[in-house]
Amino acid sequence: GENVEQHPSTLSVQEGDSAVIKCTYSDSASNYFPWYKQELGKRPQLIIDIRSNVGEKKDQRIAVTLNKTAKHFSLHITETQPEDSAVYFCAEKISGGGADGLTFGKGTHLIIQP
């Protein structure tokens, strides 16, 4: 599978501050980039995704940006709250011509300090 690098592995921010998690990928054919949130003991769930024909997408306090030239995409969480504490995974997928699985980054443990 293709490589997805995710940084940082752990991120601690004060409640109310912003958090940014970054991912890079290697295959220029990748065209779908979702972000999943996994709370402790629970299953990963999609929080936002972006496709390659879009540079930015926003949903309330969460936004994702994509730079196809540089092959990186980022998750931005503003006004962080305690319930944002979780592990976040970026992923990428090459679509078309049959199915393929998502390739995930190694995850970022986001800690919101009260």
The encoded tokens of residue 105 equal 């980054």
- Told to check if 61 binds another protein by CB under 8 A, we report no
Name the residue nearer to another protein (CB basis): 43 or 114.
43
When binding is defined by CB under 8 A, the residue of 11, 32, 63, 71 that contacts another protein is: 32
- Told to check if 93 binds another protein by CB under 8 A, we report yes
Whether the Cβ atoms of residue 73 and residue 83 lie closer than 8 Å to each other: no
Q: What is the DSSP string of 54-97?
A: -SEEEETTEEEEEETTTTEEEEEE-S--GGG-EEEEEEEB--SS
When binding is defined by CB under 8 A, the residue of 75, 99, 113, 114 that contacts another protein is: 99
Query: Shortest Cβ distance from residue 81 to another protein (Å)?
Result: 23
Whether the Cβ atoms of residue 91 and residue 103 lie closer than 8 Å to each other: yes
Whether the Cβ atoms of residue 27 and residue 95 lie closer than 8 Å to each other: no
Query: Shortest Cβ distance from residue 109 to another protein (Å)?
Result: 10
Q: Return residues touching another protein (CB under 8 A).
A: 1, 6, 9, 31-32, 34, 42-46, 49, 51, 89, 93, 95, 98-107
